[in-house]
Amino acid sequence: MQPIPTNILTQFNAMLKQRNIPVNAHNDYRKWLRYFLDFRAKYSPPDSRSDQVRLFAEKLRLKNQTMKQQEQAADAVSLFFAMSNRKECPSSTVLQQTAPDASLPHKAQTAKAAVATNTNTLVCEPPASSVPSPPRLRGGKHFDEWRCLRKTESSAWDKVIEDLAAEIKLRHYSRNTLKHYADWSRKFQSYLKNKPPETLSASEVKAYLTYLAVNCHVSSSHQNLAFNALLFLYRHVLKKDFGIHKDIPRAKKSNYIPVVLSRPEIDAVLKHLGHPYKLVAQLQYGCGLRINEGITLRVKDFNFDAGILTVRGKGDKTRTVPIPQRIAPELKAQIEVVKKLHDEALAAGFKAVFLDDQLEKKYPRAAKELVWQWFLPQESLTFVAETKEWRRYHLHGSHVQDALYEAVSKAKLTKRVTSHTFRHCYATHLLQAGYDLRTIQTLLGHADIRTTMIYTHCIPSRTVKEAKSPLDF
C-alpha cells in the first residue's frame, strides 16, 4: 500500500484542524484516506464521487468493519473531496457535503449520503427505456451544507445554535430556515470572534449589518435574510432586545423580473433530460411546483380519479392543482415502480421512508405503508445512527439541478434557466391564456396577490390604443 503523497497529506491535516476533528482521531482519518486512495488505484471506481464513497463503504463492510468505522471512513473521504474541490475552485467559499452525521437532522441525510447499503436489488428502474447516467456534479456545491450545526471551539455558541435549532423545530419551520438561520448565526459568531453570547447587545447587530452592506456589498435578499436570522436569534434564543435599526445602510432592492421560456424552449430542455429529472421538470411546469415540492411528493398525493395533485408547500401550507393529463401515463408508471421498490424493501427487512416530525409516533406503521412512500425515491438507503436502521430518502434537489444545468447547456439557450424557471413559466403562460390573477395566486400558493402580480411584467402589453381619460371618449 502506497503512502499518502506529501502535498495531499499536508492539506488533509490542515482540513482536519479546520473541521475541528478530535486530535485523537487524526490517525484514523489518515488511515481511511490511505485505504481509499489505495482502493481507487486498484479498482478504478466510477467518476461519480458519491459512487466512489458508496463502493468504498461496501468494501469496508465486506472486510467486517463496524458501522462506526464505515461512517468515520466516509467522513474522511468527504473531507478529502472537500479539500480537492477547494483546490480546483480556489475562489469558491462553499465546501463539499460530508457524510451523514448523527447530530444532523434525519432529513439532512440525503441522496448524497456517503454510507449506503448494497442496494443492487433495490435499484429504482425508470418506466422509460433510457436510463441516463447520474449528472456530473459541478464545482462549488454545498457538500457540507449542515456544517453550521457542527461543534466549534466555542461551547457557548454551540449551545446557542442547539437552542436555535430547538426553537425552529418547535415552530415547525422548514429545514431551509434552520440551515440559513444557523449559518448566519455562525457568520455572526465569526464576525464577533467568539464573543460570549451573554454579553451581546443591539450594537453588535447594527455593526454587523452595516459591515455586510458597506464592506461586503451583499444583495438586498442576503441582507434581509441576515436581519431576520439575527432577529430570531435575539428574540427567541438570547432573549435580548434587538433594537430599532432604521439608520442601518440597506442594500438597494433590485427590480427583478423572472426569466420565462417559450414552449419551444421548454420542449428543447425537456428533450435533453432523462428520467426521473424530466418528470420533475414536467411537474414543475405542468403544476407550478417549487423544486422541493416536486421531489417531496408522496404516493398518497396523487388522485387520478379526480385529476387532482395535493401539494405541501412552504410553511406546511397545502393546496391542490390539476394533474396534467399529458403526463398522467408516466406518473402512473412511476407509481408502479415505487410499488415494486416498496415490496422489495419490505422483503429485505427495511423500514422504508422517513416521516415528518412526530408522525411516526402517531402512526407507527405509516413508514411501511405504500401511501407514504416517496413518489421519487432515491436509489440508495440512508443509515440512521440513532435507531441503527436503513431508510429511504427522496430524490435530492441538487441532482435535479445538475441534470437541468447539462440539459440547458445542450439546448444552447440564451437565457439563464434554473429549476424555478419552470414555475415562472407556469404562471406566465396561464396569465397569457387568460386566467385571472386570483386563480393563479391560488394555484401557486402565494399568500399575497402582490407576489403574483410580478408575472404581469413578463408578458407584453396588449393595449391597442394609447391611454386616454374617460371624459375624452
| pLDDT of residue 98 exceeding 80 | no
Model confidence pLDDT, tens digit, residues 75-85? 888 888 877 76
Model confidence pLDDT, tens digit, residues 388-399? 777 888 988 888
Query: For position 410, what pLDDT does the model report?
Result: 93
Selected residue with higher pLDDT from 193 and 243:
193
Tell me the catalytic residues: 290, 314, 420, 423, 446, 455
For the ranges 83-92, 217-226, 262-271, which has the lowest average pLDDT? 83-92
For the ranges 48-62, 107-121, 252-266, 271-285, which has the lowest average pLDDT? 107-121
The confidence band for 181, taking pLDDT boundaries of 50, 70 and 90, is very high
| pLDDT of residue 132 exceeding 70 | no
Query: For position 140, what pLDDT does the model report?
Result: 43
Rounded Cα–Cα distance for residues 387 and 67 (Å): 13
Model confidence pLDDT, tens digit, residues 194-225? 899 888 888 888 888 888 888 888 888 888 89
Model confidence pLDDT, tens digit, residues 39-58? 888 777 777 677 777 788 87
Mean pLDDT of the chain: 79
Asked if 388 and 72 count as a contact pair (C-beta separation under 8 A), the reply is no
**Which of the given ranges, 80-94, 317-331, 366-380, has the highest pLDDT on average?**
317-331
For range 252-280, the mean pLDDT: 88
The confidence band for 118, taking pLDDT boundaries of 50, 70 and 90, is very low
Selected residue with higher pLDDT from 126 and 262:
262
Query: For position 133, what pLDDT does the model report?
Result: 41
Model confidence pLDDT, tens digit, residues 351-366? 678 887 677 778 878 8
| pLDDT of residue 343 exceeding 60 | yes
Query: For position 424, what pLDDT does the model report?
Result: 93
pTM: 0.61
